[in-house]
Chain A
Amino acid sequence: MDLSLLTRLEDCAWRLEPRGRMRVPAVVYGDEELLAEMDPRVLDQIGNVAALPGIAGAAYVMPDAHVGYGFPIGGVAAFDPDRGGVVSAGGVGFDISCGVRALTTGLALAELEPKKKELADLLFQSVPAGVGAGGRIRLGAAEVDDMLAGGARWALERGWGEPADLERTEDKGCARGARPEHVSQQAKERQREQVGTLGSGNHYLEVQVLTEVRDPRVAAAYGLREGEVVVSLHSGSRGLGHQIGTDYLRAMTLAAREHGIELPERELACAPARSEIGERYLGAMRAGINCALANRQVLAHLAREAFAKLFPGSELRVLFDVSHNTCKFEEHELEGERRALFVHRKGATRALGPDHPELPEDLRAWGQPVLIGGSMGTASYVLAGTREGGERSFASACHGAGRSLSRNEASRRFGGREVVDQLAARGILIRAGSKRGIAEEAPGAYKDVARVVEATQRAGLARIVARLEPVVCVKG
C-alpha cells in the first residue's frame, strides 16, 4: 500500500481523504510495516465502500486487512437507514457470523500433559471436522427453522449447554429479527447434517495454554490465569450461511441497479436497508448468525463431553463468543449525535468498551473480551474492548492474522507431514483429515498475529489481556 496516499493521524491511524466517488474518508489502522505490506487493492476496496449510499462517519480498515470480495477482509462500515443507507451481502460475506468461542477449563497444563495425546485423539473423534464430516445431529425441516430462530438458545433447550453460556455470547445467543422464511430451501438443505461440525480451511478447535498475562486486572476479571488450559474454537454458519451469502449476493447484485446504486464491483452487492430485499436479507442474515451461534454452542458441548471423559470434574466455562462477519443494527455517537446504524464488520470483531449496556454485568467494568484466533501452530490472543474504540471504529477490532501466502503457494512450499512433525517437535499435536489441507494452513502461510494485536492496541481499538499458545489443534 502506498503510504504517500495517506495522512498519518496518529502512531497507528492513517486517513485516506475522500477522492473520486467516496462520500466519507477512510481510516486505516496499523503500523507502518503492516500498511506497507498491505495489498494496495485494500485501499481501492475501502474507497468503494466509502462511496456507498448512506455511509456514516468513515470507512475503517483493521490492521490485519487483506483483499476481500467487494469489502476488504478487515473492513468496517456503518450505514444510516434514515439517510438512504444500505445493507450489503458483500459486506458480511459468505461465512456469516464466523467467529471464535473460548472456554476456560480450570486445568493446569501439567494436569493435561499426561493425557494430551489421548485428548487429541478423542477430540478428533468426537468433533466432526473437515469436508464431508456430517454432524451427529440430523434436523428435520421444522427443526432447522427452530434453530434459525433460536440460535444458541435453541441448542440450550435441546440440552447442549448451560444458561451461563448465553450471557457470554453476543446478542445473548440469539440474534433478534431472524426470519427463517427468507432463507432458501437450498440453504436449509445444506444444514441438515452440518449442525455441530467444524468445517475446513482456517477453522479449528484448539486446546491452548495461557502463556502470558499482559493485563493482570482484566485477566483476573475474565477468569484467566497463566499456565491454565483454554479451549478455543473457530467456526461459522456452515453450509447454510454460505448459501445465504450466495443467494443474496446474486440477488443484491441485480437489485442494486434497480435501486439506482452503481456498483464499482459487483460484489459490493447491496440494497437500501429499507427496501424489500434489504429487509429480506437482514432477516436471512440474522438467521445465519443464529445458525453460527447454535453451531458453536454444540461444538462447545462436544468439547465439554470429551473433557468430562478424560478430566472428570473439569468445568469448561465460556469466556466469550465473538462473531467477525456480521451486520448489526447498533447505536453509535457520531459528532455528538446518537444514530442508529447498520454496522458491517467483514473480518472484524465487535469490541465493546467498558460500561456498554450490552455487556453482562460481571464484564461491564472491563470491556468485552475480543478473541483473536491465530493460525494452526501460532499464538492466539484475548483482548478487551476500549472506550475510545467506540468512536474510532464503531467499536471494532481485528480478527486474526490474515494470510501472507496463497493456498496454492503454501501447498507448493510446505508438506503436510513435515508441518505436523515440526509442530510435534514443539509439543503441538495436530489432528486433521487432509495432508494438503494442513500444508495450505501451515503457520508460515500467515502473517504474524502478534504484530497485528500490538498495532490494534496502539491504535486504541482494544487492549491486549493475554496470550495463548496451542497444545492440540483439530483441523478440518
Chain B
Amino acid sequence: MPTPQAWESFAHASDVGVRGRGETLERAFENAALALTSVVTDPARVAARESVRIECEAPDLELLLVDWLNAIVYAMSARGVLLTRFHVELDGLRLNAEAWGEPLDPARHEPAAEVKAATLSGLEVSRGDGGAWTAQCVVDV
C-alpha cells in the first residue's frame, strides 16, 4: 500500500481543506500547517530564514488545531510572513511551537489566495487503525 502523503489540500465546495498526517499528533499538526501554506504558495519556494513562536491552548484537540492554524493565518496576515518549517510540542491541550519562514515577496512567491481563517468545517483530529494521526479542516479563502 502506498504511504499517504504527509500533507495535502482537499477539495471543498467553495474553499479548500488542509490535511496533515503523522506518526504523532505533533507531526500531524506540523503537516497540517504545511498544507495551509500550500494554499497560498508552494512551501518549497519559501526559505526558512526567520522564526516565529506560537503558543495556544484549547478545550479540545479539534479546537486546538483550529487555534494553531489560525495563529499561522494571523502571522501571515499581520506580520506578512510565509512559514515553511514547523516544530510543534504538545503538552496535553497546550501547544508550543516554533515556525520558520520569510517575509512574503509577491513577485517570488506568487501567492494564489489569502486565507481568511481556519474554520470548524471538515474539522477532524483522529488516530487511524495503524496508529497514525490525521489533522484536518477547511480554510476560508
Instruction: From the candidates B10, B112, B118, B138, name the one contacting A434 in the complex (CB within 8 A).
Output: B112
Q: Assess whether B141 is interfacial by the CB under 8 Å rule.
A: yes
Interface residues of A (CB under 8 A from B): 39, 66-70, 73, 93-95, 130-134, 186, 189-190, 192, 199-201, 239, 242-243, 245-246, 249-250, 253-254, 265-267, 269, 402-403, 406-409, 411, 433-437, 440, 476
A254 — which chain B residues lie within 8 A by C-beta? 59
A131 near B15: Cβ-Cβ < 8 Å: no
B14 near A190: Cβ-Cβ < 8 Å: no
- Shortest C-beta distance, B102 to chain A (Å), equals 12
A437 — which chain B residues lie within 8 A by C-beta? 111-113
**C-alpha spacing A444/B52, complex, angstroms:** 39
Given contacts A239-B77, A242-B117, A246-B70, contact A130 B111 (CB under 8 A): yes
A408 near B112: Cβ-Cβ < 8 Å: no
Q: Assess whether B55 is interfacial by the CB under 8 Å rule.
A: no
Q: Assess whether B54 is interfacial by the CB under 8 Å rule.
A: no
Interface residues of B (CB under 8 A from A): 9-16, 40, 59, 63, 66-67, 70, 73-74, 77-78, 80, 104, 106, 110-114, 116-121, 123, 138, 140-141
A407 — which chain B residues lie within 8 A by C-beta? 11-12, 15-16, 113, 141
A134 — which chain B residues lie within 8 A by C-beta? 80
B40 — which chain A residues lie within 8 A by C-beta? 131
A440 near B74: Cβ-Cβ < 8 Å: no
Q: Could you pull out 12 A-B pairs where Cβ atoms are within 8 angstroms?
A: A69-B119, A73-B14, A131-B113, A186-B74, A190-B74, A200-B112, A200-B113, A200-B114, A201-B116, A201-B141, A250-B66, A403-B13
- Shortest C-beta distance, B128 to chain A (Å), equals 23
- Shortest C-beta distance, A78 to chain B (Å), equals 23
Among B40, B73, B78, B114, residue most surrounded by chain A Cβ atoms (within 10 Å) = B114
A476 — which chain B residues lie within 8 A by C-beta? 114
Known: A131-B114, A242-B140. 13 other contacts (CB 8 A): A93-B140, A130-B111, A132-B80, A132-B111, A189-B78, A201-B141, A239-B77, A242-B117, A243-B117, A250-B66, A250-B67, A411-B112, A436-B110
B74 — which chain A residues lie within 8 A by C-beta? 186, 190, 243
- Nearest residue, chain A, Cβ from B105: A132
**C-alpha spacing A253/B123, complex, angstroms:** 14
- Nearest residue, chain A, Cβ from B81: A132
**C-alpha spacing A239/B138, complex, angstroms:** 18
- Shortest C-beta distance, B44 to chain A (Å), equals 14
Given contacts A94-B140, A243-B74, contact A406 B11 (CB under 8 A): yes
Instruction: From the candidates B14, B104, B117, B138, name the one contacting A132 in the complex (CB within 8 A).
Output: B104
A94 near B116: Cβ-Cβ < 8 Å: yes
B113 near A201: Cβ-Cβ < 8 Å: yes
- Shortest C-beta distance, A70 to chain B (Å), equals 8
- Shortest C-beta distance, B10 to chain A (Å), equals 7
**C-alpha spacing A76/B116, complex, angstroms:** 22
B141 near A200: Cβ-Cβ < 8 Å: yes
A408 near B9: Cβ-Cβ < 8 Å: yes
B110 near A433: Cβ-Cβ < 8 Å: yes
**C-alpha spacing A199/B114, complex, angstroms:** 7
Instruction: From the candidates B14, B106, B118, B123, name the one contacting A403 in the complex (CB within 8 A).
Output: B14
- Shortest C-beta distance, B140 to chain A (Å), equals 5
B104 — which chain A residues lie within 8 A by C-beta? 131-132
B10 — which chain A residues lie within 8 A by C-beta? 408
**C-alpha spacing A409/B14, complex, angstroms:** 11
A186 near B106: Cβ-Cβ < 8 Å: no
Among A199, A242, A402, residue most surrounded by chain B Cβ atoms (within 10 Å) = A242
A402 near B111: Cβ-Cβ < 8 Å: no
**C-alpha spacing A440/B41, complex, angstroms:** 13
B120 — which chain A residues lie within 8 A by C-beta? 69-70, 249, 253, 265-267, 269
- Shortest C-beta distance, A189 to chain B (Å), equals 5
B140 — which chain A residues lie within 8 A by C-beta? 69, 93-95, 242
- Shortest C-beta distance, B67 to chain A (Å), equals 7
- Nearest residue, chain A, Cβ from B14: A403
- Shortest C-beta distance, A399 to chain B (Å), equals 12
A406 near B13: Cβ-Cβ < 8 Å: yes
A66 near B13: Cβ-Cβ < 8 Å: yes
**C-alpha spacing A346/B57, complex, angstroms:** 30
**C-alpha spacing A433/B112, complex, angstroms:** 8
A200 — which chain B residues lie within 8 A by C-beta? 111-114, 141
- Nearest residue, chain B, Cβ from A268: B120
A406 near B78: Cβ-Cβ < 8 Å: no
B106 near A133: Cβ-Cβ < 8 Å: yes
- Nearest residue, chain B, Cβ from A476: B114
A190 near B121: Cβ-Cβ < 8 Å: no
B117 — which chain A residues lie within 8 A by C-beta? 94, 242-243, 245-246
